[in-house]
Structures are given as C-alpha cells and as structure tokens.
Amino acid sequence: MPFEDEEKQKLKGEVHKLIAARDQKHQSNFVEFRNFKIVYRRYAGLFFCFCVDTNDNELAYLEAIHFFVEVLDAFFRNVCELDLVFNFYKVYAILDEVFLAGEIQETSKTAILNRLDYLDKLE
Amino acid sequence: MSTAQQFFNNVEKYIPKLGVLRLKDLIKQIRACKTAADERAVIAKESAFIRTSFKEENVETRHINVAKLLYIHMLGYPAHFGQMECLKLGGAKDESESAQEVGAKDNIKGQMDQRLSVELLPSWKIFANLLFDPIRTVASPKFADKRLGYLGIMLLLDENQEVLTLVTNCLKNDMNNSNMYVVGLALCTLGNISSQEMARDLSMEVEKLLGSSNTYVRKKAALCALRIVKKVPDLMENFLSRGKNLLNERNHGVLLTGVTLLTEMCQLDPEILSELRKNAVGTLVRHLKNLVTAGFSPEHDVSGVTDPFLQVKVLRLMRILGKGDSEASDAMNDVLAQVATNTEASKNVGNAILYETVLTIMEIESENSLRVLGINILGRFLANRDNNIRYVALTTLTKTCQNNPTSDSSALQRHRSTILDCLRDPDVSIRRRALDLSFFLINAQNIRILTRELLSFLEIAEGEVKNSVAVRVCDFAGRYRPNKRWEVDTVCRVLRVAGAYVDQSVVNHFVKLVTTSPPELQQYAVRKIYNIVKNEGERALTQEGLLQAMVWCVGEYGDVLVSGGGSTEQGIFGEKDEGEEAGADPLQGEYQVAPAEGDVVAMFTELLRGPYATLAVKEYSVTALAKLTGRFRDGSVIEQLRALIAKYQVNINVELQQRAVEYARIMGLDGETRAALLERMPVLESALKEESKKGSGVPVAENAPAAAAPSGGAELLGGLNDDLMGLGIGESGAAAGAGGGDIYNMVFGGSGTAGGGGTAKNDNIMDLLGGIGLGSAPVTSTPTSASSASKPTTDLLGDLFGGGAPAAAASPVSAPPISVDPLGDLLGGFGGAPQQQEQQGRSYQCYDKNGLRIALVPTKEGTSLRINAKLENVGMVGVGGVAFQVAVPKTQSISWLQALTSTDIGPGGSATQIMRIDNPKKAPIRLRLKVAYSVGGQGVDEIVEFSGFDPSLWA
C-alpha cells in the first residue's frame, strides 16, 4: 500500500504514540490500528512493529519478529541499537532477505546468514 | 578490474581529505545534536553539499552521498520532491541505455544540468534531480552501488510515481543478469514497489524466474508473483502451472513462498480453489505430517518446533481448501488432530501453531470431536498467563460463536468463569473481547449469574461502552428472564448504574416493560424507580435515562405510587430482589416505600430547578405533571402541580411552551373530559408483541441480537411512533379523524362545553387523546435528541393537531411555527383556513437535526416552482456558518432568487432562502439538499433527499 511521505511520517508518529504508551507487562502485544493490527515486540529500548491484517495469525508474526531479531543478532554478533543506526542499509538488506512483499520468504537462519555473508563480501 | 578496484580503494582512503563527510560521521553529527534546530542545520548543510556534489557528477562519492541521502530521508526530511519535473527533464531511455558507460552518463547529466540552469528552476526542483541518482547508481556495475541504488528506489519511490517507468527497464535487464544476486535484487525491488504497469511489463520475466533452477531466485520470484497477482489478478493464469509445481518443493523457503502464493490465488479465483481442492490437499497433508513428525532439524528449528512459519502457512491454505468441502475436510481431520495434540504449548511458537490449527478446525467441516478439541485448546489459552494468548483465544471464541452460535456452546460454557475473569483484566482490549464473548454465553440457565457479572462490569466500564453494555443487558434480560420481576429489577439497576450514559432504547425498554406488567408489578416497578432516584439524591440529577424513565412512570402511575402503605408487597413478592447481589443492598426495603403526594411534587420541583435537567427531561416532566393532576387527590398538591406547569407557559423552547399551554387549558376543562384526556396510556402493540416473545430466548426486538448498534434506539422509537399513528388515526380510520377534528375544535376552540358530539364520539376521543399523551411523553424528546426518528414524530404531532383528517394535506404538517401564542396558531389552523391558501402555502419539512429545522414552502408559478426555504433554529444554541444548497434532476433547472438571509442563526431565530425551479417537462420534483453548518463547535455536513412535494405542484 503506497503512502505519501507525509503520511508515512504521520503513521510513524501515530504508531509510536500508540505503542510506546502501552503497558508492557499487562497488555497484549497486539493493537488495533486503523483497519489493521499492529503486532509489536520490545527488545530493550527498541520496538519492532509489524502491521498485519486483522485475520492474520498474531502469534506467528510475533514469532517472525523474533526470528528477524535473531538474524540481526547473528549477523551483527550481539546486535545493539547503534549497529542498526549506523548500518541501516544493511538492516534493510537483511530485511529483504527475510521478508518480501510483506511475506516471510526464508525460515532457515543458516541460509539467510550465508547469503548475507556473501553479499557483504561483494561490497 | 583490479586497477579499478585499486582506484576505488584509493578514493575511499582520500574521501575524508576531500572534505566529504562519511556516512558514519554524518550519523554521529546528527546524533550529537542537542536540539531539533541543530539537527535541521546539520541536515540542511549536508543536503546542500550532496546537491552540489551530485551536480558536479562526482562518481566516487556518489555511493556515500546516496547513503547519506537515505539516512536523511529516514529521519523524515525531504529528499525527493518534484519527481514529475524530473521526469520531464530526463528521458528514461537515455538513462538506462547510458547506464553502463560513465562517459555517456556524464553527458546526459550535463545536459540535464544545463536545462535546469537554463530554465532557472527554483532550488527545490534542482534538488529533485537527486532522485535520479539512485536510478543511475542501479545501473552501476558495482554490486554495492546497485544495491544501495535499489534500496533508494524502494525507499524514495512508491508505486504511484511515474518515475517508476524508468526503473522498469533497469529491472528487466537485471532480471536477465547471470549473477543470481543481481536477479535477486531486482526481484526484491519489484516485490516491494511494483505498480500495475510494472506488474504487466515484468510478469513474463518473473514467470520465467519462477522456473529457475536456483532456489534463491525461485522463492523471490514466487513472492514477486504474489505481488503481481495482487496488483493485476488477470495475470494469475501465467503463474498457475509453475505455482502448483512449487508445492512439490523440498526447500522450505520455496515451499513457504509457494504456499503463500497459492493461498492468495485461491482467495482470488474460485476455479483455482476447486482445482487445488482436488489435487493439492494430499500434498499439503503430507507436508504438514512431515513437519510434525520430523525430529530435530537444526536448520528450521524454532525453540523445538520445526519450521512453525511453514506449518502456519500450510494450515492456512488447508483452511481455505477445506472450507465448505467435506471431502477435503475429511482428508485433513487426522493430521489436524495430530497437530493439535502433538504441539508443545509451553512456548509462543507452539501456541501460534495451535492457534492456526484451531482456526482451521473451526472453519472447515471437521468432525465434532475435533471441534471440541479446538474449543478446549482455546479454553487452555484463556487460562494462560500471557495476555497475547488470552487475546487470541477471546477473539477466536467470539468469531466461532458468531459463525456457529449453537453447536459449540456447551463446550464453551465450561470456560465461562475464565471468560468472566477476563472482564476484570487490566488490558482494555481483553476486557472488550471478553465482554462480547460473555453475551454469547448467556442462556436461560445462567442468565442470573451472568447478568450479575455484567452489571458489576457495567459499573466499572468506561463511559463509551456503558451504553452498548446497558442495551445488551436489557435485551438479554428480556430474552432469557426467569420472571418478569427479575427483568424489572435488572433494568432498574441498569438505569441506576448507567443512567447517565444509556440512550433512549433502554428507557423505552423500561417503559414497555412497565406498561405490559400486571398491576402489582407496575406498583413495584414505579415505587422502585422512584425510590432509586430518591436514594441516589443529587447523583440522580445527571442520570438522564434514569430520570426519563422515572418521570414517565410516575406520571402514568402516580396514583399507584402513592396508594397503600409501605412494604405491603412483601407478601406478594416474598422472594428477594433478584437483580441485586445478595446482601449488597440493605436499602431493599426502602425501595418499596410509598411516598406522599407532596413528596413527589417536591422531587419534581427539585429536579426541574437544577441546572441538570435536560430539555427531554423537562418535556417528560411537564407531561407527567399534567397527568399527575388527574392522579393525585390532595387539592393543595394539585395546585402546586399547576403552578409548576404554569412556569413553562413562557419558555424559550416552543415545544415545551406549547405543551405547557395546552395542559393548562386541559386543566381548565370539566372533570369528565379532563379525566379522559389524562387517561393512562394504552399498552403499545409492539410492546405486547415483544412481551409475548420474552423469556423464550429468541431475540425480542428486530434489532436485538447484537443490539450494540446505536441505531437500536432509533428503531425502537420508530416502532413507538408507528404505533402511535396506528392508535390515533390508522385504526379508527377517517371517521376518527373527522371526529377528532371536531373534538379539537371543541377542546381548543374554547367552547368550554364538552357536550354533544364530544361525548357521542367518546371512543375516538380516547384514542386521540391517548395518542396525545404518549405523543408528548416518550416521543417529544426526539426533536432534541437529534435522532433519525425525529421526522415521524413531527409528522405525527402535525397530524394529531391537524385533526388527522383527510385534510391533513391542508394543514401545517411541519412543526408548528414559532409564535408567542401557539394556541392561537392552532386555533387559526383549525378554524377553517381558506382551502386555496392551504394548497399554496403548505410547508414541507425536509430536515430537522441538531436543532436546525428546514421547511420548504413551494408556490406554483406556471411550469416553475418558487420555493421559499425557511431555516429555523429550534435548538438551544446558535447555529453558525450555514450553507444550504439544492440540486435538481437534469430535466429541471434551479435558480436562486434570494440568497440565505443570514448564515448565523441564533436560538429561536430563522433565515430564509428563495429559489425557483423550472420544470418544463413537468417531471416529479426531487431535491437533493446539502446542508452544512456548525453547531456547538462541531461541523455538520449532510446531504438529504427530499421528494415529498404534492404532485399537484408539477402536474
């Protein structure tokens, strides 16, 4: 779904407001948002948010977030926020290896990491 | 190559010295900024630098600059305006053809710059050519550059931008590249930003790649195909045969993406669905079975479960295939049972699979035992400490109940207490879901327990859900009540705890309930609600719903309320008050105290004096007071009642004033007529109908099942109005109408005697006046409540006062005009106004909301029609910024003779607008009215249709 830049910024703001205000201990990791649902997971100070259809399997997406984070962790070797900031383009590359067109494309961590290492060497 | 490499390495080394800020440094700088202004300054400086650098065509630094640009963009700063201008300046073909050769590229860039400078475009347009840089980088032979370039495209562009056509060629080239990573990159880009056009242009390439021998390419192609199919479903055929082959894959990535693609295709095309039903179910079952039984496989293991993502996808596709097809469902039964029993539920992964399994079990034609298994899994979920799990359990159970209300209910009942516990969960989304589900649990056996729970929830619920809960509790209380007194108690309690939030439907519910009750119960109910208000004291004053119900009941049954001693009913109703929690209410005895007549009047005085009484409550009260003059005996009390009514003979609200004046006149009549006029309301037919269904478990009102919809109130009111019409006119037909007319002449004509025709047509009098009584009690509130039911009300009133006679057309059907002396107007109206004037001057009300009432007065002038629109503010607050527009069908034309006299209309004020409609073809006149205004700080913008004009106006 394409959005104008302005809309994207607005979305980011809204989602941030929505998620950051939530009680991490006593609330579920799912929030209704517009006509969708946001599945989010918090890692230290970082929130990973996925926007999914209302009848998608929330638990599976929660797991997918964790899977993505594990890949990040393996790639950066104990990932931290600064890794993601300074290597944002690499994060995108990893994202592109795990998800495509909004769907999971690979569930083997080894396969992904091998690709990434190879891609890294190409540069 | 090696020299080039060396060259690049050297350049990298010297970059800092050349004054180019490295990406890392830029990020550091930005992060070091203490204020937003600092950050903006850094970014502005860097943007300017990047711009010049691009302009100078500095090949070596382009990579870094694009990366920096993307970072700037990520922070939300503008990085790409004016793609359109950009497109006009440079040709897409030039770009991609020249892509390989730096020299040619420079040339083009040079031309572009030249054109830019020649046209002296504003700086933002020059900045726009930055956009070309990612595209050009894509064409770069260096892989890292290419990747960054595509990343830029994915981030900066979206499918709506025409610049994308430039990209299509690059993608096409890259998809045919021999390097699989380059192909992968191109597929990835397409999958993320493909537009319809790109989908069409590149569908061939993707189809080819779907058959590639390389799994890396194949899985990406599958998801690209998914995107293409979503964008252009017509292209589906192209992918069908290769898509089906993907199901036989061994590689999980390809299988996963293949299943995803086929799921989408099945949803889009029923033919593919039925084909896969025949051929694919077996394969899917086998895959799933392998996944469940497979031992530890390190590659796809997620906390002990083999590839949960694939399992979930397969289950999802199975759900679509098995839905409504018993053969396919049968084939799945075993494996579903296997998954449901063998999956480890201690971790989120396992629960994700179980959740998907339950969804599939519930949706396909699965065996009964499997369904019970499914519900039990959800029951286990409900008891889980993890909110996420409870959340999905509640959602799923509610969905199951909606689809299949009866079959799974006994399994569900076992989890009742767990569900009710969720009503007290700190998470609001869990509470809401538990609430919805609770209503599905209600049946005749557990209605008492569940209602008690729901009532205690009602007390703590947030304001905005209170009404919907209240409406539903009342609805279900009627449906499954064990006895009628219990229902009275329950509705009373609803009104007590949520009286400030409930809408009209709850009040109506109570009114209907009381009117259909036997006399002892009526007494019980009236005393109860009276005493609730009394005991609540000041708190009751803001509870509008409670007050309305109380005022109405006291007005109707005032004699019963004050008659007899204190708690004599204990004998009749030996049992405890069932709506209340045991022991929670020590005041129970007090709820049956009979007040003295004077106390009742004192309460009304108190109630009307405060600032809280809303217009509706006042209207109810005036009618109740009038009725009480016929119910009470004590002369001094009746004097007080009259004095209270008299106060409203001068009031800013016309409705209230008119009623007060009318009632004052009625009180001046002789005893017999007055008694007839103040008769108790007849029982509504609809109430009787609903009553007969109650307690049987079926929805009582037509709108009952999920009565949460706010329209409930309006519909109920509509029902009331219909009945009123029936009572007043419909049943007794024209005779009653004519008789009614006489009586009105008699009553309001000031003849002062009630002899002759009046008594002879006593039945009709009763009917009509009964009608008035009700008309002014529950219904009069509608003009102010802005509900959609307001129109019938005014019609009704108009009809009633128009004598309801066949001559209705000749009387002012719209609301009575504002006047200091409404009685005078009425008298004038009935006094036989000349026929002609009635034809011409008839006013049609076309809008009445939020206090704004619009009436149209048409006058025929040959083939055209002159319409005088009168906009009146009958509300309590000013209406501002009024705009009133009218559209007519093409065969007619409209012209304005006079613009709206004022766009701001204060309370009680009015404005007019005059238009002429030329109607040479004499077609029926239909108007579409657009009304825009603001009231109480809120803008209203509405379109209404009006076609109620008398055909004589165009015939």
B315 has pLDDT over 90 = yes
Q: B71: which chain A residues are within 8 Å (Cβ-Cβ)? A: 88
Bridge partners (DSSP) of residue B927 are: B946
Residue closest to B623 by CA, chosen among B779, B730, B517: B779
Mean pLDDT confidence for B756-760: 36
Distance from the A10 Cα atom to the nearest Cα atom in chain B, whole angstroms: 10
**For the segment B851-873, what is each residue's pLDDT rounded down to a tens digit?**
788 888 888 887 888 888 888 88
Residue numbers in A near B309 (CB within 8 A): 60, 63-64, 67, 104, 107
Handedness of CA B502, B506, B508, B513 (dihedral sign): negative
Beta bridge partners of B873: B852
Q: How far apart are CA B368 and CA B366, in angstroms?
A: 6
- Provide DSSP, B730-783: ITTHHHHHHHHHHHHHHHHTT-----THHHHTHHHHHHHHHHHHHHHTTSTTHH
Q: Are A27 and B348 a contacting pair at CB < 8 A?
A: no
Mean of pLDDT values over B264-278? 90
Instruction: Give the mean model confidence (pLDDT) for residues B557-582.
Output: 55
Residue-wise pLDDT for B610-638, tens only, equals: 777 888 888 899 999 998 888 888 888 88
* Chain B partners within 8 Å of A105 (Cβ): 219-220, 223, 253, 256-257
Task: Give the pLDDT of residue B98.
Answer: 35
Cβ contacts of A103 on chain B, cutoff 8 Å:
223, 226, 257, 260
φ, ψ for residue A111, nearest 5 deg: -55, -45
Instruction: Report the distance separating Cα B339 and Cα B823, nearest Å.
Output: 79
Long-range Cβ pairs for the range B193-196 (8 Å, 24+): B193/B153, B193/B154, B193/B157, B193/B158, B193/B159, B193/B164, B194/B159, B194/B224, B194/B227, B194/B228, B194/B231, B195/B159, B195/B160, B195/B164, B195/B231, B196/B159, B196/B231, B196/B232
User: Has residue A94 got a pLDDT over 60?
Assistant: yes
Question: CA B668, CA B671: separation in Å to the nearest integer?
Answer: 9
Q: Which positions in chain A have a beta carbon within 8 angstroms of at least one beta carbon in chain B?
A: 2-3, 5, 9, 12, 23, 26-32, 57-60, 62-64, 67, 85-86, 88-89, 92-93, 96, 100-101, 103-111, 115, 118-119, 122-123
- Top pLDDT among B696 and B511 is at B511
Quickly state the pLDDT bin for B309 (edges 50, 70, 90). Answer: very high
Q: What is the DSSP letter of B905?
A: B
Burial of B908 (0-12, 13-18, 19+ CB in 10 A): middle
Least trusted range by pLDDT, from B103-107, B152-156, B447-451, B603-607: B103-107
Instruction: Pick the more confident residue, B284 or B939.
Output: B284
Percent of chain B at pLDDT > 70 equals 71
| A/B interface, count of CB pairs below 8 Å | 144
Predicted confidence (pLDDT) at residue A99 exceeds the cutoff of 80: yes
Taking an 8 Å cut-off on Cβ atoms, the answer to whether B224 and A101 are in contact is yes
- Nearest-by-Cβ selection for B310 from A2, A28, A107: A107
Candidates A26, A105, A119; nearest CB to B387 = A26
Q: Is the Cβ pair B348, A63 closer than 8 Å?
A: yes
pLDDT of residue B4: 59
Lowest mean pLDDT among B95-99, B353-357, B696-700: B95-99
Q: Is the pLDDT at B91 greater than 60, yes or no?
A: no
A56-70, B222-236, B572-586, B650-664, range with the lowest pLDDT: B572-586
Q: Give the pLDDT band of residue B187 (cuts 50, 70, 90).
A: very high
**B896 phi and psi, to 5 degrees?**
-95, 130
- pLDDT confidence tier of residue B137, bands split at 50, 70 and 90: low
DSSP single-letter state for residue A2: -
The pLDDT score that the predictor gives to residue B416 is: 85
Per-residue pLDDT band for B134 (boundaries 50, 70, 90) equals: low
In the sheet with B864-873, reading across from the earlier edge strand, the strands are: B844-849, B852-861, B864-873, B910-918, B893-898
Question: B222-231, B377-386, B585-594 — which is least confidently predicted?
Answer: B585-594
pLDDT at B150: 81
Please judge whether A89 and B253 are an interchain contact, meaning their C-beta atoms are less than 8 angstroms apart.
Answer: no
CA angle B430, B432, B436 (to 5 degrees): 115
Cβ of A28 within 8 Å of Cβ of B391? The answer is yes
State the residue for tokens 């005059």. Answer: B914
Map tokens 């495209």 to a residue: B153
DSSP state of B323: T
Which chain B residues contact residue A2 at CB under 8 A? 158-160
User: Does residue B215 carry a pLDDT above 80?
Assistant: yes
Section B843-850 average pLDDT = 82
Tell me which of B835 and B875 has the higher pLDDT.
Answer: B875
A44: closest CA of chain B, how far (Å): 19
Distances from the Cα of B473 to the Cα of B223, B454, B700, B735, angstroms: 48, 7, 13, 43
* Interface test mutation site (partner B, options A50, A53, A68, A100, max chain B beta carbons within 10 A): A100
- In terms of average pLDDT, the best of B392-406, B549-563, B789-803 is B549-563
pLDDT over threshold 70, residue B45? yes
Asked if residue B781 lies in contact with residue B504, where contact means CB atoms within 8 angstroms, the answer is: yes
The pTM score is 0.64
Between B137 and B539, residue with greater pLDDT: B539
Distance (Å, whole) CA B318 – CA B313: 9
Q: How far is CA B310 from CA A56, A107, B256, B284, B654, in A?
A: 14, 8, 6, 11, 70
Mutation pick from B137, B147, B187, B428 vs chain A, by most beta carbons of A within 10 Å, is: B147
Q: How far is A118 from chain B (nearest CA, A)?
A: 10
d(CA B79, CA B74): 9
Q: What is the pLDDT of residues B360-394, one digit of tens each?
A: 998 888 888 888 888 889 888 888 888 889 888 98
B356 contacts in chain A (CB < 8 Å):
57, 60
Q: Which of B160, B355, B390 sits opposite A2 (nearest CB)?
A: B160
Closest CA to B882 of B867, B868, B871: B871
CB contact under 8 A, B388 and A29: yes
Beta-bridge partners for B944 = B929
The mean predicted confidence, pLDDT, of chain B is 73
Q: Are strands B879-887 and B927-935 parallel, antiparallel or unpaired?
A: antiparallel
What is the structure's pLDDT at B356?
93
- Tell me the residue length of chain A: 123
